[in-house]
Amino acid sequence: MEKKGLSTIVTTLLIILLVLVAAGMVWSVVKNIISEGAEGISLGRTTLGLEIISLEIKDSSIDVRIKRNIGEGDLIGVRFSLKDNESSEIIEKPTTMQELEERTFTLRQAEFSLVNLRNLTEISIAPILGTGSGKQTIGDLVVFYEVSGSEFVGGEDIVESECNSSDDCGINDWDGLSYCGVGGNVWRNFTEYACEINICIKDITAIETELCDSDGCNGGECVNESLGCITNDSCGIDGFIDTPVCVGNESWQNYTIYSCNTGVCSNSTSFILKENCSVAVPPEMCGVDAKCVAYSECSEHSDCDGRCGSTYCMCNSNSECIAEFKANTGVVDNIWPLGIGEFFDSADLPGPDSRYQFYYVGFPGSIETRCIEIGEYVSPSEDSDIYIRFSVSWSNITAGNDYEIWETFYNCNKSIS
């Protein structure tokens, strides 16, 4: 009887254990479904839509005015896909837009290495959406528009299909025929499909498939040197190479020209003016990657990051981004009181006409890691060194420390960090 009773208890415990394991497996599946559903909801992918209001093609850029329609979703950018007679290229612009808001995006020729904006035939846009988990994806709605010459002739909306795997979206394969591209080499577009959060994503990448050396390229094939060249285009496509640089307020870059002379290819490279930022209306400035950017309005110094090229940038009282340079540099001669360091003097501090009160001073390479506000800038007499009193009552500086003075705390802190 005791053995039978024990057997019944063991059987009951095993049944309870199996029920708990089964419940755990079911919860795991349900949890994944809930997570995916929450991710989809955070995308707002079935409601957020964009449309092109107008398009203006200029000599070296195009202005695309986009409107965000009514619909939920965390818009964090716009993907632009452009095509000309031979190539296609994709760039992304980070942005945020409210419902029914309109915004103009300027796409410059310098941003494209394959597509010639003057020969633009098609442009498409798609919203880039942020998710609750910090990821990003391309929204459902991709909008295609046709362009004829410099005229915008409209297009159609295409909703990407839903999917469970990449196989549901299409087969990765070469798209179209080979063509002669940058560097006088053979290029071809490759199309890849992916399934991201049950949405089909199509991505077209231009790939360099063959190097033609000095023989050049013609009709999507490398030219056989023994046959010689026929036209300049068979030797290569004229274009910019290397990285552009700012020279004053102008963008300069190496430009290669290909020539065919008596069946022989040759090329020459010159450092030429690419864009004069000062002639734009309103005037622009040469910024990051030697691109002309607007003197954009700013509300804080961080809004100006990267807008002054390799120079530090600040937001002035007119809400304009302008370059900021070190106001003064030198070496600390004396500090006092000893052990407290509320004051210091230096023979490198400029004369009484300088007005550095409320500027900021940093000490690169020292144990004092702060940028400290200048409370007083004092010139006692012609025979005495000018000294500075901090707006705080102590510091970690010592005699012999290097110092540098900045107008803004923001750039002072960036410089010594």
What Å distances lie between residue 267 and 226, 227, 313, CA to CA? 18, 18, 40
Q: What is the pLDDT of residue 142?
A: 58
From 128, 159, 190, give the residue that closes a domain: 159
In a domain, 30, yes or no: no
In a domain, 81, yes or no: yes
In a domain, 218, yes or no: no
| Rounded Cα–Cα distance for residues 99 and 298 (Å) | 23
Question: Is there a single domain that holds both residue 396 and residue 313?
Answer: no
φ and ψ at residue 11, rounded to 5 degrees: -60, -40
What Å distances lie between residue 136 and 132, 141, 170, 393, 410, CA to CA? 9, 15, 22, 48, 30
What residue type is 106 in one-letter code?
T
**Sequence-separated (6 or more) residues with CB below 8 Å from residue 396:** 341, 366, 367, 368
Of 61, 119, 127, 55, which Cα lies nearest the Cα of 92? 127
Per-residue pLDDT tens digits for 176-207? 778 777 777 888 888 887 887 677 777 777 78
- Flag whether pLDDT at 300 surpasses 60: yes
Of 226, 344, 244, 237, which Cα lies nearest the Cα of 289? 244
Q: What is the pLDDT of residue 147?
A: 67
Question: Is there a single domain that holds both residue 256 and residue 307?
Answer: no
In a domain, 208, yes or no: no
Question: Is there a single domain that holds both residue 55 and residue 154?
Answer: yes
**Sequence-separated (6 or more) residues with CB below 8 Å from residue 274:** 110, 240, 244, 250, 251, 252, 253, 255, 290
Residue 31 and residue 38 in contact, taking contact as beta carbons nearer than 8 Å: no
5 or 338: which leads in pLDDT = 338
Of 293, 378, 298, which Cα lies nearest the Cα of 343? 378
Question: Is there a single domain that holds both residue 389 and residue 295?
Answer: no
Question: Is there a single domain that holds both residue 70 and residue 88?
Answer: yes
- Flag whether pLDDT at 42 surpasses 50: no
From 159, 182, 208, give the residue that closes a domain: 159
Number of domains in the chain: 4
In a domain, 219, yes or no: no
Q: What is the pLDDT of residue 39?
A: 47
Per-residue pLDDT tens digits for 74-90? 888 888 888 888 888 88
Question: Is there a single domain that holds both residue 62 and residue 155?
Answer: yes
| Rounded Cα–Cα distance for residues 374 and 270 (Å) | 49
| Segments of 167-249 assigned E as strands | 173-180, 186-196, 199-210, 217-218, 221-222, 239-247
What Å distances lie between residue 68 and 44, 54, 94, 106, CA to CA? 13, 13, 14, 17
Q: How far is CA 4 from the centre of its chain?
A: 74
Question: Is there a single domain that holds both residue 352 and residue 410?
Answer: yes
In a domain, 33, yes or no: no
In a domain, 73, yes or no: yes
Question: Is there a single domain that holds both residue 365 and residue 411?
Answer: yes
Question: Is there a single domain that holds both residue 295 and residue 252?
Answer: no
Domain ranges, residue 77: 50-159
Measured from the Cβ of residue 92, the count of other Cβ atoms closer than 10 Å reads: 15
Tokens of 119: 């020969």
pLDDT bin (cut points 50, 70, 90) of residue 45 is very low
The strand pairing partners of 203, in sequence order, are: 192
Question: Is there a single domain that holds both residue 269 and residue 353?
Answer: no
In a domain, 138, yes or no: yes
Order across the sheet with 360-362: list the strands: 328-331, 402-406, 360-362, 372-378, 387-390, 343-345, 334-336
What Å distances lie between residue 257 and 109, 151, 232, 242, 269, CA to CA? 18, 30, 9, 14, 6
- Flag whether pLDDT at 401 surpasses 90: yes
Question: Is there a single domain that holds both residue 353 and residue 397?
Answer: yes
| Rounded Cα–Cα distance for residues 164 and 162 (Å) | 7
| Rounded Cα–Cα distance for residues 59 and 120 (Å) | 12
From 159, 177, 193, give the residue that closes a domain: 159
> Quick one: DSSP state of residue 118?
G
pTM: 0.34
Looking from the CA of 209 toward its CB, the CA atoms found within 13 Å total 17
Question: Is there a single domain that holds both residue 319 and residue 248?
Answer: no
- Flag whether pLDDT at 343 surpasses 90: yes
